[in-house]
A and B are shown apart, each in its own frame.
Chain A
Amino acid sequence: MDLTGGFGARSSGVGPGREPIGLESLHLGDEFRQLVTTLPPENAGGSFTALLELPPTQAVELLHFTDSSSSQAAAVTGIGGEIAPPLHSFGGTLAFPSNSVLMERAARFSVIATEQQNGNISGETPTSSVPSNSSANLDRVKTEPGETDSSQRLISDSAIENQIPCPNQNNRNGKRKDFEKKGKSSTKKNKSSEENEKLPYVHVRARRGQATDSHSLAERARREKINARMKLLQELVPGCDKIQGTALVLDEIINHVQSLQRQVEMLSMRLAAVNPRIDFNLDTILASENGSLMDGSFNGTPMQLAWPHQAIETEQSFHHRQLPPPPTQQWPFDGLNQPVWGREEDQADGNDNSNLMAVSENVMVASANLHPNQVKMELISYKIHIRFEAMELDDQINIFCVETSNPSAVTKSEYPSCRCPRLE
């Protein structure tokens, strides 16, 4: 389908070279425009399945991903012991600690699974990283439900998923998904894992001084797996570290999930209340070509700088229900404060200068309510961001995400300023 192809091509293009705060090349802003404008017409029911199978399955992308993941795996295992996730009090605020490493670990788990579930075929890279993670395979081999159902051949017990063809390398790939914390030093070798692909039995090597009874081995393997996962869950859920015992940890996890679900409910209510449209300008927000969402350290402020521009366009697009193609903007910037105040704002939007001035005026309007320090920060960040060109969608989203991943403490400090009183 056209959508699938478009997504695949684009994502594969940026996959290998993507950096979180990449300022580089990419200029396929119009590609995103295309995507967004063609999307509503193509909105037949057929696109829903395309939606689900959308993630790209490029071998190169996977290759790069596995490279980075394996190196990260080593790094994380090394420092896994001493990572103390910052414990923020969970009750009072809605701020989640930015346990970047933990989220990364957990998310990598799911991402790897997603990647390889989509039928990747590259297998040479994973083999190098498998020995380091083969210890995890000990437990992995036995029960393998989960994300890798379509590609994981190591479900030695299950005979059901055999109909999906997959090369052997994929299994090794699938085994790589683990919580790197679990660096147990069992002596399981690769070739025995290969044997497991064909045999219905699990070959588990017992450690010294432990019973070799098959039942106890299996039970031990399961117990260790459960404990490791509980530990990781403990770290993921804030405030869980100090709790001993499975029941209490489960309590915390349940609370966490419940609160997250409630938050989603509230946020969707909020979004619904603000916008009369369902697809509330999310696409215009992301199609903002100025890329002012940069630089996570400036959190809320870049948003305030970017959105004034959007406010101008949004008014027009509001009634037309279509997206104005975002003009590429170069913002040569010389000095912010005084000259800007005097400019006119009622010029055509197509004019770069007028856009700049209107934006600046709005910035001034918005920042007049802020604390002077914040104003200064805004000006500084404004200057820094001023040179960005139209960015490709993935980078925009990247930046968007980088921004949101910063500690919400900073973002929350922007909230009061968001509700600034109207200026006359």
Chain B
Amino acid sequence: MNTYNMVKQRFIKKWINTLHMLDSSIEHPLNVTERKNAIRLSSDLAIAAARSGATVWSRALISRSGNKTTNKPMARRILKKARNRIKNRCSTLRRNGNFTAKVGVRKRTELLKSLVPGGELIDDKDYLIRETLDYIVYLRAQVDVMRTVAAVDLVTGNLTNDRRNK
């Protein structure tokens, strides 16, 4: 319980930062889709930053998100850094024992690789599972926090409208 809360806390902190950064660097006004993309981008960056780039998925997420924000030169720097680390990671993962993969498992691991950011670069199934586990934790934290914030916004919105309508 303690640690999951800490995960969420870190996520919230980063999310505040990324929202601010994104908000000041994007020109307004925006339509709903762009806003949604911006929010999604900011929260993805936040979970990746909360993971501090120590996992493949977080770095891949950063590099993937870096492509979407063209007006952030700093993101490009991060992108380069992430790419390098991912390359290094690939070469270290080559040394494994042989493992037998059955057809069904094989297909599913391919699918999982496509889901987890940066998964395609991972050869070791064991490592892939570890990455997935970590990614799930942070995804869930993201969902929990966003859901709560959305609910809060709903309440606030209702009450604000109530006051306005009086």
Q: In angstroms, how far is the closest chain A Cβ from the Cβ of B36?
A: 4
Check: A365 CB closer than 8 A to any chain B CB.
yes
Question: Contact flags (1/0) for B50-87 with A, using CB distance below 8 Å?
Answer: 01111100000010000000001111011000000100
Give 16 A-B pairs besides A49-B74, A146-B131 with Cβ atoms closer than 8 angstroms.
A48-B21, A51-B21, A52-B53, A100-B1, A101-B1, A107-B7, A118-B52, A158-B95, A253-B136, A254-B111, A260-B142, A268-B40, A281-B156, A311-B159, A365-B162, A393-B13
Which chain B residues border A404 with CB–CB below 8 Å?
8, 144-145, 147-148
A236 touches B151 (CB 8 A): no
28 A/B residue pairs, CB under 8 Å, sorted by A: A7-B13, A46-B74, A68-B2, A107-B7, A145-B92, A155-B92, A157-B95, A158-B95, A226-B129, A233-B132, A250-B105, A264-B44, A264-B142, A265-B40, A278-B23, A278-B35, A279-B20, A280-B39, A281-B153, A303-B151, A312-B163, A362-B162, A397-B8, A402-B5, A405-B1, A405-B8, A405-B144, A415-B151
A117 touches B12 (CB 8 A): no
Q: In angstroms, how far is the closest chain A Cβ from the Cβ of B50?
A: 8
Check: A147 CB closer than 8 A to any chain B CB.
yes
Nearest first, the 6 A-B pairs at minimum CB distance are A45-B74, A272-B35, A279-B19, A247-B104, A272-B36, A250-B108
Question: Contact flags (1/0) for B144-166 with A, using CB distance below 8 Å?
Answer: 11111111111111111111010
- Given A233-B133, A282-B15, A303 and B155 contact (CB-CB distance below 8 Å): yes
Residues A376-424 near B (CB distance < 8 A): 393-394, 397-398, 400-405, 408, 411, 414-415, 418-420, 422-424
Interface of B is mostly: helix
Interface of A is mostly: helix
| Interface residues, chain B, with chain A CB atoms under 8 Å away | 1-10, 12-26, 30, 32-33, 35-36, 38-40, 42-44, 49, 51-55, 62, 72-75, 77-78, 85, 88-89, 91-93, 95-99, 102, 104-105, 108-109, 111-112, 115-116, 124-127, 129-140, 142-163, 165
